[in-house]
């Protein structure tokens, strides 16, 4: 092999080596940028979480305030608040403006489903399925569902046969869909003591629905409050915290991360 051929081969080898080094360098730069972006997003989300949690505590303090010192109305109105350079949106709602899912009779549950556009047959089936889900026996309501029905539907669970402890358990009731759940969940609670609602705090639709069935709708207010706090970071990260507080003992009975829907 001539000297010129050897030099040509060496040049090609050098060019391939440089190309390989360039690819490795580019990959390292991309990985570094990606790692930096991930770290920045994690820090941003951590601050947003802390700000949302602070919003819950701010609302709890307001619930204990008296007279003119109170800033938040317990009717679901959304208020803005600044914390740690974050915009926090806070809303408080007295649970007495909702129907107790464990105590409501089937006719009321069916009426609530009907008020949000569910057809009568399906509304009654859902109401009976809820009754079967929460009662302790294994006797099936006319349009309800017990273990065999859940198995036939291919579900890996059956009725709880115990009271609902959290409204989110309503998603497990056979026949419930995400769309129907989102429509009725603002009207339901598990944190009130009786079957009545406070008409001053309930929505007009729920008030009308209850009044069609019962003469008295007056409930006791100030037992439990649901609080929602949303905090958004500068990079667009959104964190939602939801809590339910029993005011008498200032006891937090529910604490969860909310679903981001926007």
The alpha carbon dihedral of 239, 245, 251, 256 has a sign of negative
Give the whole-number percent of the chain exceeding pLDDT 70.
81
Beta bridge partners, 256, equal 242
Domains and CATH numbers, the chain: 1-98+192-262 (no CATH), 101-186 (1.10.40.60)
Q: What is the pLDDT of residues 208-254, one digit of tens each?
A: 998 888 766 666 667 899 999 999 877 777 899 999 999 877 789 89
Predicted local confidence at residue 261, as pLDDT: 46
pLDDT at 196: 80
Distances (CA, A) of 159 to 55, 76, 108, 140, 145: 36, 32, 20, 11, 8
pTM of the model: 0.75
Average pLDDT over residues 102-108: 94
The number of CA neighbours under 13 Å toward the Cβ of 200 is 8
Region 204-211: mean pLDDT is 90
Bridge-partner residues for 164, per DSSP?
none
Lowest average pLDDT, out of 12-26, 39-53, 223-237, goes to 12-26
As a whole number of angstroms, the distance between CA 136 and CA 226 comes to 28
C-alpha dist (Å) from residue 218 to 57, 187, 223, 246: 29, 15, 14, 20
Which candidate, 84, 47, 52, 67, places its Cα nearest to that of 227? 52
The rounded mean pLDDT for the chain is 86
Specify the range with the lowest mean pLDDT, choosing from 13-22, 141-150, 228-237, 247-256.
13-22
């Amino acid at each position: 092999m001539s000297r010129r051929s050897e030099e040509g081969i060496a040049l090609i080898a050098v060019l391939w080596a440089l190309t390989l080094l360039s690819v490795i360098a580019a990959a390292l730069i991309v990985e570094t940028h990606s790692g930096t972006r991930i770290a920045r997003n994690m820090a941003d989300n951590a601050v947003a979480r802390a700000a949302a949690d602070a919003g819950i505590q701010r609302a709890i303090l307001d619930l204990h305030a008296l007279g003119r010192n109170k800033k938040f109305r317990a009717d679901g109105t959304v208020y803005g608040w600044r914390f740690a350079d974050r915009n926090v949106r806070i809303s408080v709602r007295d649970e007495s403006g909702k129907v107790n899912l464990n105590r409501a009779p089937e006719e009321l549950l069916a009426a609530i489903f009907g008020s949000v556009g569910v057809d009568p047959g399906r509304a009654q089936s859902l109401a009976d399925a809820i009754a079967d889900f929460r009662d302790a026996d294994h006797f099936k309501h006319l349009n309800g569902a017990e273990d065999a029905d859940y198995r036939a539907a291919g579900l890996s669970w059956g009725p709880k046969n115990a009271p609902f402890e959290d409204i989110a358990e309503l998603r497990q009731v056979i026949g419930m869909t995400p769309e129907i759940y989102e429509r009725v969940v603002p009207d339901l609670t598990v944190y009130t003591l009786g079957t009545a609602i406070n008409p001053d705090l309930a929505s007009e639709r729920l008030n009308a629905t209850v009044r069609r069935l019962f003469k008295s709708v007056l409930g006791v207010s100030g037992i439990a409050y649901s609080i929602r706090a949303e905090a958004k970071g500068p990079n667009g990260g959104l964190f939602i915290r939801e809590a339910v507080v029993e005011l008498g003992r200032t006891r937090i009975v529910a604490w969860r991360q909310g679903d981001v829907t926007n």
